[in-house]
Amino acid sequence: MCDADRIASCAVESLLVEVAATPKPGLVDRANNGAHADMDFFTFQASAAALAPHFTAFVRAGEAYGGALETLLSVLRPLGRAAESAMYARTGGVNTHKGAIFNFGILLGAAGWFGAHGEPLTADRLLDAARTICTGLCRADYGTLAKNAVPETKGQAAYLTYGLTGVRGEAEAGFPLVKEHALPLYRTRRAEGMPLNDVLVDVLLVLMAHNMDTNILGRHDLAMLQRVQAEAARIVGLGGMGTEAGRTAVEAFDAQLIAAWVSPGGSADLVALTHFLYEIEQSELLKET
């Protein structure tokens, strides 16, 4: 068995610390609304609170599921739609956490499933579970789209235009951006004693440097995305939030992205996921079954 409420609260905490990290280029934070006119810091707080019971439901659904991990997604997707409805109802129709709901729904469901099977929770185990749960997802959701189809979502548009599978592809691959880039850096920075705010910003920059963020493509084009990736990588090279030059560059980058109306929301969702996985690793309570 597992403590569903405790695990879900860790996920809610991750949403709250992600939005609080400042400055985040192009994103809502404590200083400004980023490249957004319909949401602010408090919108995200309200949204996270509204999602709390739904996050618990994901864990409990995984725990109660008697089937194989490979078929768990069929149970989680209706719960994800219910969570999205709760988000929209609380925010007045604003999409604050749709990507995060998808990401956390999978990992929280896996956490519950592992608890029911007496298996410990670790970051690597949960990331591997995501790959198992989402096997075949991109083919199922995008494989039947005709090349000349009119896209109904930004995800479909990114797939049809660039062949990118966005959040679905990241999950089906076991979140490699988190596993290979974000989480190792997060562990290192936290071990070094860097302030949590600065760790979160540095992790965001690393993700922005590598992520083919479909949120950016939804508003702009591949050239803009590549410019964002290059600048994020340059700031990482300056030392990020750990150096005066890096901090100055982050603040300037924020102003640039706001002026260009660029929001790397897909990377922000992965920052929250990284914090969650780190806390899972650190908490002995969450490892007990």
User: CB-based burial of residue 41 (10 Å sphere; 0-12 exposed, 13-18 middle, 19+ buried)?
Assistant: middle
Question: 161: pLDDT confidence band, cut at 50, 70 and 90?
Answer: confident
DSSP state of 3: -
Coil/strand/helix, residue 35: coil
Is the pLDDT reported for residue 287 higher than 60? no
Q: Which string of DSSP letters, residue by residue, matches 179-246?
A: IIIIHHHHHHHHHTT--HHHHHHHHHHHHHHH---HHHHHHS-HHHHHHHHHHHHHHHHHTGGGSHHH
Number of folded domains that form the chain = 1
Tokens of 147: 């090349």
Provide Rg for the chain, Cα atoms: 18
How far apart, in whole angstroms, are the C-alpha atoms of residue 57 and residue 30? 30
Is 169's pLDDT higher than 90? Answer: yes
Domain with 279, as residue range(s), is: 4-288
For the stretch 242-277, pLDDT in tens is 999 999 999 999 999 999 999 999 999 999 999 999
pLDDT of residue 203: 98
Q: Does residue 288 register a pLDDT over 50?
A: no
Averaged over 122-149, what is the pLDDT? 91
pLDDT at 253: 98
Q: Identify which of 170, 183, 68, 67 has the alpha carbon closest to the alpha carbon of residue 122.
A: 183
Contact between 114 and 121 under an 8 Å Cβ cutoff? The reply is: yes
Cα–Cα distance, 149 to 157 (Å, whole number):
9
Asked if 252 and 85 touch (Cβ cutoff 8 Å), the reply is: no
Please tell me the pTM assigned to this model: 0.94
Q: What pLDDT was estimated at residue 155?
A: 79
End-to-end CA distance of the chain: 5
Residue 289: the pLDDT is 41
Query: Which tens digits make up the pLDDT trace of 66-122?
Result: 999 999 999 999 999 999 999 999 999 999 999 999 999 999 999 999 999 998 899
Indicate the SS3 state at residue 121: coil
Q: pLDDT at residue 284 above 70?
A: no
Sign of CA dihedral 68, 273, 236, 260: positive
Q: Are 15 and 97 in contact (CB under 8 A)?
A: yes
d(CA 62, CA 79): 11
> Which is it for the CA torsion 194, 196, 199, 201, positive or negative?
negative
For the stretch 10-69, pLDDT in tens is 999 999 999 999 999 999 999 999 999 999 999 999 999 999 999 999 999 999 999 999
Q: How distant, in Å, are the alpha carbons of 152, 183, 248, 266 from that of 255?
A: 31, 27, 11, 19
Task: Round to whole Å and give the CA distance between 239 and 253.
Answer: 14
